Amino acid sequence: MYKILTKKVLNPTVIQMEIEAPLVANKARAGQFIILRVDGEGERIPLTVAGVDKSRGAVKIIFQVVGATTEKLKHKAEGDFIEDFVGPLGRPTETDGIKKVCIIGGGVGCAIAMPVAKEFAALGADVTSIIGFRNKELVILEDEFKSCSKRAFLVTDDGSYGEKGNVCMPLGRLLQSGEKFDMIIAIGPLVMMKFVVEAARPYNIPVTVSMNPIMIDGTGMCGGCRLTLNQNGKMVTKFACVDGPDFDGYQVDFDEAMSRGRMYAEFERHAYTDTCNLFGKEVE
């Protein structure tokens, strides 16, 4: 059992927790993830490590309430326990040789992008951050990004905060002005990452994307997180849990990934409805 040390609501649908897991905290690096179960009957879900405090043995996670398991987790309080907390899993984000980087986060993907930006800043890299949200109410981690970035841009779809538009707008201006980056790292919705890749393509700047498909065991055994990559014209299958979650954005078949991500939408909707009914919550 793993104790919830702290709980903080970041916006109406996103919650931050610190979990007491010293073995994970001692080994986790930016870009890696954990898999947890809320209770003994629960499903396994992957969540990115959003930070660690080794002195307290604490691992920070940030999650969006979108399904049955995250709804259950939302109802846990400080001092409560969750059943399983396994990690760190996946490969850490590659940082060697990268002196100037652009970190792009979309929505709750900013929870993954933020520790990556902090890692590069700690290594002395020149960090530019671009974060995007649907509206002002959903903005998270703005101060954290500003604290570790030499330049930080914030956009919202409706213009209620920051610049009106999407993350490709400030990125496009930077690239058109002749700005060069050793790497662009995009983390967020699949469609956002796809368009970031296309925006960078004419400038031949490497793009890394963080993939978070359906996962079950986190060890490559189940095959649920498989992705198709185009490596020099050869279609190759990789697994996000052991080969990723970071991949070369130019190689990822985003259309297939988006299609696979919708496969269980109806099943998850029913599970979410049942869980909301359990807690007496009205489903929107």
Q: Where are the domains of the chain?
A: 2-89, 100-261
Tell me the one-letter amino acid at 53. Answer: D
The CATH architecture to which 2-89 belongs is Beta Barrel (2.40)
pLDDT at 56: 96
Q: What is the pLDDT of residues 55-88, one digit of tens each?
A: 999 999 999 998 888 999 999 999 999 999 998 9
Q: Which of 25, 2, 59, 42 is nearest to 216 (CA)?
A: 42
Cα 137 from Cα 11, distance rounded (Å): 7
- Selecting from 3.40.50.80, 3.40.50.300, 2.60.40.1180, 2.10.10.90, what CATH number does the domain 100-261 have? 3.40.50.80
Cα 258 from Cα 282, distance rounded (Å): 28
The pTM is what?
A: 0.85
Cβ atoms < 10 Å from Cβ of 278: 12
pLDDT at 197: 96
pLDDT at 258: 81
| Secondary structure E strands in 122-253 | 126-133, 151-156, 163-164, 183-187, 207-210, 226-231, 234-239, 246-248
Cβ atoms < 10 Å from Cβ of 223: 11
pLDDT at 216: 76
* Mean pLDDT (10-residue bins), the chain, 284 residues: 95 94 94 92 89 95 89 94 93 93 95 93 96 95 95 96 95 95 95 95 95 77 84 90 91 86 58 52 56
